[in-house]
Structure 1
Amino acid sequence: MTKVLILSDSHGLTDELNAIKERHQVKSMIHCGDSELDMDAAELEGFYKVAGNCDFDVRYPDEQTLEIGGLIFYVTHGHLHNVKMDLMGLSYRAKELNADVIC
């Protein structure tokens, strides 16, 4: 079984990101936004990443669809789908993309 490290909202905590990467050492890593780092920051090396509402580097995509270990992952930050109100918009978008996992 493929292991995937999924995290979000690290808000500039670079030492913590490095510690998490070192502790888990997996091939596939996903950051779901609000890193508050530049897209090419060393701490984010190896991560699939998307923009959060606190990310200002315009190079971040708003969403990504990835195939990992035979599963389709839909990756986005919740603010684009108003997840604090309900999960229907997020669910519909994931269904459009045939996603197995929503991040």
Structure 2
Amino acid sequence: MQILKYGAVRLAIFFAVFALCVVLRTGWLWAAVVATIVSFAVSYLVLNPMRLRANRELQNAWEGRRGAAGKTESEDADVEDSYTHGRFMDPAEMHEFTQDASDSSKQRRDGE
């Protein structure tokens, strides 16, 4: 939600500066360039806490961390984990299994 708020505020700043430049008859292209630069500068200098919160929210979503809204997802994941527990090998266990198998086959070859 913070991402949407931050984006909306940046767009509002952009369009406000753009409209002001158009009213001052700077031309469409110059209005867009000036509005882009001003909205970037204002959002970087003034909206830094909002930007950091949006960044943290996006990072949590990207890494798959469960937030307060993830109660149903958490319950579903627990049910899936209980269903698959013991049915499949963990990649770390698989590595140990293949190491043990290769060691035992090496011992059999050496013993022959």
Indicate the TM-score class for this superposition, using the shorter chain for normalisation.
under 0.3
Give 1 or 2 for the bigger CA radius of gyration: 2
Normalized per residue, which structure has more helix? Answer: 2
TM-score computed with the length of structure 2 as normaliser = 0.19
Normalized per residue, which structure has more strand? Answer: 1
